[in-house]
Each structure stands twice: as C-alpha cells, then as structure tokens.
Amino acid sequence: MQDLSTVDSDLLPKPSPRPKTTGGGDFTLIKLLIVIAIIGALEGLVLPSMTRARPAGRKTARPSNLRQVSIRSRLYMDDHQGGLFHHHEGWVLDDGT
C-alpha cells in the first residue's frame, strides 16, 4: 500500500469548477415583494368568505352539540336502569328531603 502523501497530485481527481450562474437564478428583493403582494391579494379574497362561513358553522355546531348531549344522556340512562340523576342515601336535597 502506498502512502498518500507521496502520491503525485496530478493523479488525484481535481474538483470540478463551479458553474457560473446568470442573474436569473437569484432571489431578489423585487421577487420577494411580488410574492408578498400575491399572498396579500389571496388573503383579501379568502378572508371575507371565511367571515361569512363562521356563523354558518356555529349554526351547524349547536344541533350537533345537542345531539351529543342527548346520546350521552341516553347511554347514561341505559347504564343506570333508566334514571338520569341518582341521589345517594344520606344526601340532603335542596328541598329538604
């Protein structure tokens, strides 16, 4: 095996030179400002529709929440012989009983 310090430098592979780039590949300030302007325009188009959709979503959520409460109440009643609220012996209710 030969020591690498004694190898001729002509035999080692030379690094390839970097290709020269033209001005078209750089991301300039103008391009950045154009991208920001496009994002702002899209936001201006989307936000009004989002504000109109929010109340409709709330209207849909209310019946869904009521449905979930009724399902959970029914499951509780099935587990506790049809009673929705159980009072343990020894508890005093607000009406004194």
Residue 5 lies in a domain: no
Domain containing 45: what range?
Answer: 28-78
Residue 11 lies in a domain: no
pTM higher than 0.75: no
Is 60 exceeded by the pLDDT of residue 37?
yes
pLDDT at 24: 57
DSSP conformation letters of the chain: ---GGGS-TTTSPPPPPPPPP-GGGS--HHHHHHHHHHHHHHHHHHHHHHHHHHHHHHHHHHHHHHHHHHHHHHHHHHHTTT-S----TT---TT--
Residue 62 lies in a domain: yes
Q: Give the total number of structural domains in the chain.
A: 1
Residue 71 lies in a domain: yes
Residue 86 lies in a domain: no
Residue 19 lies in a domain: no
Is 90 exceeded by the pLDDT of residue 79?
no
Residue 37 lies in a domain: yes
Residue 93 lies in a domain: no
